[in-house]
Homo-oligomer: A and B are copies of this chain.
């Protein structure tokens, strides 16, 4: 069926010049810039790695559980090509029989590997296979078993346990993300172990803030219990949140994170907020109330950040669980979250007017709506002292997406109103690949500025190092 006769590619290669422009002058400068950053330690100020991995340091189970099943980029793409989530070993909620053989899951990935041409998943996974596991053949149906075996063999060895990889990856600091009620036992275990890796938590209070979530009132009651505070009043609720933030800080947290459907913020006066809170506890609120309360609490969290110094991160604009059937069958985070247009200029104004000029606040804003980069986000970050731009996120954490981020924000916000790279990943083994892609894309962008005589080489080199290392370390206090 193929009209092209493919030359056999005998080797899986990670070319030294990957992601650099073809033009020799630009490529030469990109190489030179990249030499300054390729070996810098990784600062990972925002991500979703499970801290149990590093607390327990057990071997990873098998290639499919490590690299396929928990990766929503991979399972959504395979699902879009007709592969059932149950056939990928994704645990089902509704009793559907799920593939139990990880090797068969892996073969399904190999079979649909062409679907990933041109995607960042292709780059990330090849980086992991080649660099971490030493795989030398391209993934394909006829190589699937060999690749599986090679990765599986590695996983059985001591030097592929999580802590060994953490060190080999040269991670200087890794932030995980936990909900407000998490006891942080894994972080305590890591801290009290003899191991020296720096793993900190991040305070993510969505479950105790979003009054529209089922179980919110129970979560708030538990919040009262764990903090020993009366959360049946609004002041008590605020007090409990402040105490919980302090608890997270004692476990290393330097930031909070907030995943909201929109970028709306609200600045209610205390009496109105208290009344809304009471109505929420009584279950008398609707969707508009929930949006209002979430927006108000962002402003409250900005106030708390001014006091305790935690960086405030806002990740808005995803319609979660767009596909009802998938959500019913398999739950959240199955690759069915779809971005929606996001309004920052009106949405952020209440918060920014209250705290945007406060030198104590660091407010990092992300987006899934690239049309806002040049229209709203760069102008806001290029004016308000408190506001910085998070890097290209999620669907846009990719070569083209990272490039667009720089092209669309730099001229208005500069480089120094951005916070460097966040890998934001659940996939521990992909961390080096993601940082490498971001470093290469930033070097390629800077190389263009150099070649077009918009920035001298030595300033570009300093900027590359700032973006890769110094800025995230400073902004996130890591």
| A residues with CB within 8 A of B | 1-4, 6-7, 9, 13-15, 17-23, 25-26, 36, 40, 76-77, 79-82, 114-120, 122-123, 138, 319, 322-326, 335-341, 343, 345-346, 349, 352-353, 356-357, 359, 368-371, 374-376, 378-385, 387, 395-396, 398-401, 406-408, 410-417, 448-449, 451-459, 461-463, 465, 469-470
A-B contacts, 10 of them at CB < 8 A, read: A6-B458, A21-B452, A22-B452, A81-B417, A117-B459, A337-B379, A338-B379, A341-B343, A368-B375, A400-B408
Contact yes or no, B370 A82, CB < 8 A: no
Contact yes or no, A414 B461, CB < 8 A: no
Contact yes or no, B453 A411, CB < 8 A: no
CB of A365 to closest CB in B, whole Å: 13
Cβ-closest chain B residue relative to A397: B411
- CB neighbours of A371 from chain B (8 A): 341, 369-371, 375
Contact yes or no, A375 B369, CB < 8 A: yes
- CB neighbours of A338 from chain B (8 A): 345, 376, 379-380, 383
A45 to B228, CA, bound (A): 67
- CB neighbours of A408 from chain B (8 A): 400
- CB neighbours of A117 from chain B (8 A): 414-416, 455, 459, 463
Contact yes or no, B345 A452, CB < 8 A: no
CB of A336 to closest CB in B, whole Å: 5
Contact yes or no, A412 B383, CB < 8 A: no
Contact yes or no, B379 A339, CB < 8 A: yes
- CB neighbours of A417 from chain B (8 A): 80-81, 115
CB of A399 to closest CB in B, whole Å: 7
With A2-B465, A76-B383, A81-B385 given, name 13 new contacts (CB 8 A): A2-B462, A6-B459, A6-B462, A17-B453, A18-B452, A18-B453, A20-B452, A23-B23, A77-B414, A80-B413, A117-B455, A118-B454, A398-B411
User: Ordered nearest first, which 9 A-B pairs have the shortest CB separation?
Assistant: A15-B453, A18-B453, A6-B458, A22-B451, A118-B410, A398-B411, A371-B371, A4-B461, A22-B25
Q: Which of A6, A80, A323 has the most CB of B within 10 A?
A: A80
Contact yes or no, A335 B385, CB < 8 A: no
Q: Known: A3-B465, A461-B4. Contact between A120 and B451, CB under 8 A? A: no
Contact yes or no, A456 B9, CB < 8 A: yes
Cβ-closest chain B residue relative to A340: B345
Contact yes or no, A4 B462, CB < 8 A: yes
A56 to B123, CA, bound (A): 53
- CB neighbours of A368 from chain B (8 A): 375
Contact yes or no, B7 A457, CB < 8 A: yes
Contact among B114, B357, B400, B414 for A407, CB-based, below 8 A: B400
- CB neighbours of A114 from chain B (8 A): 416, 459, 462-463
Q: Which of A22, A319, A322, A343 has the most CB of B within 10 A?
A: A22
Contact among B76, B353, B370, B470 for A382, CB-based, below 8 A: B76
Contact among B2, B81, B384 for A80, CB-based, below 8 A: B384
Q: Known: A4-B461, A353-B323, A370-B375. Contact between A411 and B399, CB under 8 A? A: yes
Q: Known: A338-B345, A341-B343, A454-B19. Contact between A401 and B395, CB under 8 A? A: no
Contact among B3, B22, B116, B452 for A19, CB-based, below 8 A: B452
Contact yes or no, B339 A345, CB < 8 A: yes
Cβ-closest chain B residue relative to A357: B325
Q: Known: A22-B451, A452-B21, A459-B114. Contact between A374 and B395, CB under 8 A? A: yes
